[in-house]
């Protein structure tokens, strides 16, 4: 790895552009409605037609017959494509790439409710929808498994990175611990509920397929779509320049892309297809529900000696677990520890990644348990966490954290929030009918590094253009990439053009796992190192001595503008960051502390969040404005997870009942109070030349428990099953006397 530049210093460390609170460079396009999302693009050959997907009406079983007679004679109908028709279109049976659990086109076997079974293509959207309703599918319903609690005894152990872990002797240490907590917590199935639905415009030119779509990971999706349709990779082009949110739901190829591609093949015209909101919740992925048992053992003076975390979740056969024990391996010291995940087979829709997969539900449980332990010890919950901090991986004590400032987050947060005003005994603070309390939780999310490439161009106007298949899912990628290129080339951000989200560009990290900010900008850094060398060479300067600042290149006593350097023709350079065995040497994580004040109506049980503060340690913050925006969005999602969000499972027929945004509640403006975000001033020189990590998921990790702990502190009623709806604590609330 080469984290230094030819000039011997890292230009990013100047922080003239990087680290500054620049406004979003694509902001005006978005606020004026001129940034095109997947369904809105106009660039394709010919006039488009419209697709509408028919979803399976059963969760498990078989299609007996599909009667399309009525539908195909309806006005405007051009084609109906089902699994039966693939041969006629020149396709074999579809694959599913390597990242999907269920087939994206079902039939004759049905794996989950609302699995796509047909696309109807018509001249208008309304015609396609009407005809889709007239496709009659007859099924034989099979026996499905839909209840996690019921399937729990059949859940299986896992291997690889999901295998059980054990350090010391947990059982003995826990049994002998003078102070113990042994509790079970549950988190429900959740949906990403991103603003922009899954949507695709697909068209064919000969045997080449192009898509405008809405996706977080361009390269993964290109590969998986090519595999699914048995096409050579170079015959597939994927473009997602703007993405209206994903939260993990758009990491993977979904049915909109596959079905639109099949429909377009059938009619020989571009097909526009958006999945309607009521279809998304059961057709696409969700965060799986968990049942988590946590056992903590401590000495009387508050040292954790035993930490045990077991988690059960379910997924379709061949799927994976919600990795809820992840943070428990790393968050607190303690000599004796165990984690174990068990996976049950369920025939519900596919479970998969949703923002902070693992840590979000894991911390919702663990950080209540820690609160319960602190109370039992009669210790302040901040002090208890500080006492049990670790600077090394507790399972591998020779392996340090690259940087870990959890304690500072907790202490500075407590100070700033006025934590000393919290009363340790719950239900003591009243304001009229309101009971008021404060809660805290640690935030923790691992830092993942993904190889990332970019191309940079310098033209004779001195304009630097960055091209990479990185996506901006609302996070600010355009802006931090522009800042990175500007800093590296010594120009203002107005001299940089950023082009993203196209599989014709070099393969980046993509957006996911909060790895996008650090990984993709590091790839741009690598490309700019190459471009600086090319500029120096073109000018005949010693690349080791060339300095880039104020739009000029200087070496010894000579200088030139960047525009002059490119007079003889555009300079183009490509670079890629790779990470070697860095993550073996160092545990890289991000840290934070969430503080919440909540009020509970003592008559109705209604919960109002009054104040929120997050203090974060996540390496260098590349742009405090966009990073804060990530944080407050995540904190808002955390309030949803604590108080509202729950996909209700119909355990007889196997589907999510509340499959729209009327029934699946997320916070609205009136639910969210003043939110404050502080970033610890740090730079993590180990992780990358940018010295940055990510905050997109850190902001969510721990919030649910901080809300839960605040509600408990207000009421004295401990709720261990999320979401904390008023029915769960109403009966126990103290009455006014
Ligand atoms: Mo994230 S759940 O990896 O988009």
Q: Single out the residue in 578, 598, 627 at which a domain terminates.
A: 578
Q: What is the pLDDT of residues 570-586, one digit of tens each?
A: 999 999 999 988 888 99
Name the pLDDT band for 483 (thresholds 50, 70, 90). very high
Q: Single out the residue in 527, 558, 578 at which a domain terminates.
A: 578
pTM recorded for the entire structure: 0.97
* Residue 6: per-residue pLDDT: 44
Tell me, in angstroms, the distance from the centre of ligand 1 to residue 633's CA: 14
* Residue 9: per-residue pLDDT: 81
Q: Is residue 156 part of a domain?
A: no
CB 516 near ligand 1, within 6 Å: no
- Location of structure tokens 């949110």: 245
Tell me which long-range contacts 602-606 makes (C-beta under 8 A, separation of at least 24): 602/430, 602/433, 602/434, 602/435, 602/733, 602/734, 602/735, 602/736, 603/433, 603/736, 604/726, 604/730, 605/726, 605/727, 605/729, 605/730, 605/733, 606/726
Q: Is residue 333 part of a domain?
A: no
Q: Report the alpha-carbon distance of residue 695 to residue 524 in Å, rounded.
A: 19
Is 240:251 a contact under the CB 8 Å cutoff? no
Q: Does one domain contain both 70 and 197? A: yes
Ordered alpha helix ranges (H), 143-230: 148-151, 170-176, 218-229
What rounded mean pLDDT belongs to the chain? 97
Q: Is residue 334 part of a domain?
A: no
Q: Is residue 439 part of a domain?
A: yes
Q: Is residue 666 part of a domain?
A: yes
Q: Does one domain contain both 589 and 727? A: yes
Q: Does one domain contain both 267 and 128? A: yes
- Domain ranges, residue 567: 11-35+450-578
CB 514 near ligand 1, within 6 Å: no
Q: Does one domain contain both 233 and 126? A: yes
What is the number of the ligand 1 atom nearest to the C-alpha of 355? 2
Q: Report the alpha-carbon distance of residue 334 to residue 315 in Å, rounded.
A: 32
Task: Give the pLDDT mean for 248-270.
Answer: 98
Q: Is residue 360 part of a domain?
A: no
Q: Is residue 596 part of a domain?
A: yes
Q: Report the alpha-carbon distance of residue 445 to residue 404 in Å, rounded.
A: 12
The total of structural domains in the chain comes to 3
Cβ atoms < 10 Å from Cβ of 339? 25
Task: Give the pLDDT mean for 652-663.
Answer: 97
Q: Does one domain contain both 501 and 554? A: yes
Question: Cα-flanking dihedrals φ and ψ of residue 251, to 5°?
Answer: -70, -30
Pocket test for ligand 1, best of 355, 359, 509, 630 (most atoms within 8 A of CB): 355
Q: Is residue 375 part of a domain?
A: yes
Name the pLDDT band for 736 (thresholds 50, 70, 90). low
Q: Single out the residue in 556, 578, 600 at which a domain terminates.
A: 578
Tell me, in angstroms, the distance from the centre of ligand 1 to residue 322's CA: 12
Q: What is the pLDDT of residues 420-438, one digit of tens each?
A: 999 999 999 999 999 999 9
Q: Does one domain contain both 93 and 219? A: yes
Q: Report the alpha-carbon distance of residue 407 to residue 377 in Å, rounded.
A: 20
Q: Report the alpha-carbon distance of residue 84 to residue 198 in Å, rounded.
A: 24
Q: What is the pLDDT of residues 305-329, one digit of tens each?
A: 999 999 999 999 999 999 999 999 9
Tell me, in angstroms, the distance from the centre of ligand 1 to residue 192's CA: 10
Q: Does one domain contain both 612 and 727? A: yes
Q: Does one domain contain both 388 and 441? A: yes
Is 513:472 a contact under the CB 8 Å cutoff? no
Of 98, 91, 138, 101, nearest to 259 by C-alpha is 91
- First-last CA distance in the chain: 68
Which secondary structure element, helix H or strand E, spans residue 662, and what is its range? Answer: none
Task: Give the pLDDT mean for 444-473.
Answer: 98
CATH number at residue 409: 3.30.365.10
Establish how many alpha carbons lie within 13 A of residue 202's alpha carbon, considering only the half-sphere containing its beta carbon.
Answer: 28
What is the number of the ligand 1 atom nearest to the C-alpha of 250? 4
- Location of structure tokens 């490509």: 574
Q: Does one domain contain both 440 and 474? A: no
Q: Does one domain contain both 426 and 470? A: no
Tell me, in angstroms, the distance from the centre of ligand 1 to residue 445's CA: 12
- For strands 452-458 and 655-656, give the pairing: unpaired
Task: Give the pLDDT mean for 212-216.
Answer: 98
Q: Does one domain contain both 201 and 101? A: yes
Q: Report the alpha-carbon distance of residue 216 to residue 514 in Å, rounded.
A: 12
Task: Calculate helix-pair angle for 624-643, 359-377, nearest 10 degrees.
Answer: 70
pLDDT at 735 over 90: no
What is the number of the ligand 1 atom nearest to the C-alpha of 248? 4
Per-position DSSP letters for 331-345, written without gaps between them:
SS--SEEEEEEEEEE
Q: Does one domain contain both 553 and 407? A: no
């Amino acid at each position: 790895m080469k984290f230094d530049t030819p000039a011997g210093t890292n230009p990013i460390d100047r922080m003239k552009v990087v680290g500054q609170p620049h406004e979003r460079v694509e902001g005006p396009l978005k606020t004026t409605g001129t940034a095109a999302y997947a369904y809105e693009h106009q660039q394709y050959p010919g006039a488009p037609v419209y697709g509408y997907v028919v979803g399976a009406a059963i969760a498990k079983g078989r299609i007996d017959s599909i009667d399309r007679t009525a539908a195909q004679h309806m006005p405007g109908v051009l084609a109906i494509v089902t699994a039966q028709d693939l041969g006629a279109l020149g396709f074999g049976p579809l694959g599913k790439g390597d990242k999907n659990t269920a087939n994206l086109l079902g039939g004759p076997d049905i794996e989950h409710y609302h699995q796509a079974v047909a696309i109807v293509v018509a001249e208008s959207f309304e015609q396609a929808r009407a005809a889709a309703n007239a496709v009659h599918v007859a099924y034989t319903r099979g026996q499905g498994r839909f209840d996690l609690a019921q399937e729990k005894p059949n859940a299986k152990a896992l291997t690889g990175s999901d295998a059980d872990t054990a350090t010391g002797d947990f059982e003995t240490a826990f049994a002998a611990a003078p102070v113990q907590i042994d509790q079970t917590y549950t988190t429900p199935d959740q949906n990403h509920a991103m603003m922009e639905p899954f949507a695709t415009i697909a068209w064919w030119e000969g045997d080449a397929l192009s898509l405008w779509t809405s996706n977080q990971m361009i390269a993964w999706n290109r590969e998986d779509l090519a595999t699914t349709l048995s096409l050579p990779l170079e015959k597939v082009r994927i473009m997602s320049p703007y993405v209206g949110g994903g939260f993990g739901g758009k990491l993977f190829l979904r049915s909109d892309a596959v079905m639109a591609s099949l429909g377009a093949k059938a009619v020989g015209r571009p097909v526009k297809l958006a999945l309607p909101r009521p279809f998304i919740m059961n057709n696409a992925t969700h965060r799986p529900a968990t049942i988590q048992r946590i056992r903590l053992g401590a000495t009387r003076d508050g040292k954790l000696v035993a930490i045990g975390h077991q988690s059960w979740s379910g997924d379709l056969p061949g799927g994976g677990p919600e990795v809820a024990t992840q943070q428990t391996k790393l968050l607190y010291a303690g000599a004796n520890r165990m984690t174990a995940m068990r996976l049950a087979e369920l025939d519900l829709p596919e479970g998969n990644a949703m923002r902070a997969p693992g840590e979000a539900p894991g911390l919702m449980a663990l950080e209540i348990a820690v609160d319960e332990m602190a109370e039992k010890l009669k210790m302040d919950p901040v002090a208890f966490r500080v006492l049990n901090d670790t600077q090394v991986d507790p399972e591998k004590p020779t392996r340090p954290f690259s940087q870990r400032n959890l304690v500072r987050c907790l202490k500075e947060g407590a100070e700033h929030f006025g934590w000393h005003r919290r009363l340790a005994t719950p239900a003591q603070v009243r304001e009229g009918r309101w009971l008021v309390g404060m809660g805290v939780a640690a935030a923790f999310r691992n830092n993942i590094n993904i190889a990332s490439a970019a191309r940079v161009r310098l033209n004779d106007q001195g304009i630097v253009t960055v091209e990479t298949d990185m996506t901006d899912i609302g996070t600010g990628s355009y802006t931090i990439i522009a800042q990175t290129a500007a800093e590296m080339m010594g120009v203002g951000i107005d001299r940089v053009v950023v082009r993203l989200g196209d599989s014709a560009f070099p393969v980046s990290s993509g957006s996911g796992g909060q790895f996008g900010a650090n990984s993709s900008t590091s790839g741009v850094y690598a490309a700019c190192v190459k471009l600086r060398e090319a500029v120096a060479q073109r000018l005949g300067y010693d690349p080791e001595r060339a300095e880039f600042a104020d739009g000029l290149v200087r070496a010894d006593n000579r200088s030139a503008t960047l525009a002059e350097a490119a007079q003889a023709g555009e300079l183009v350079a490509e670079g890629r960051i790779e990470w070697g065995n860095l993550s073996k040497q160092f545990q890289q994580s991000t840290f934070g502390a969430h503080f919440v004040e909540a009020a509970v109506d003592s008559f109705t049980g209604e919960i109002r969040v009054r104040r929120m503060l997050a203090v974060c340690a996540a390496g260098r913050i590349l742009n405090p404005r966009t990073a804060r925006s990530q944080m407050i969005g995540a904190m808002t999602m955390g309030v949803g997870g604590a108080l509202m969000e729950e996909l209700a499972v119909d355990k007889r027929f196997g589907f999510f009942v509340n499959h729209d945004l009327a029934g699946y509640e997320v916070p609205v403006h009136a639910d969210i109070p003043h939110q404050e975000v502080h970033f610890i001033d740090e730079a993590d020189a180990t992780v990358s030349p940018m010295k940055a990590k990510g905050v997109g998921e850190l902001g969510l990790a721990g919030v649910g428990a901080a809300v839960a702990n605040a509600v408990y502190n207000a009421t004295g009623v401990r709720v261990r099953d999320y979401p904390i709806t008023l029915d769960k604590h109403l009966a126990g609330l103290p009455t006014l006397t």
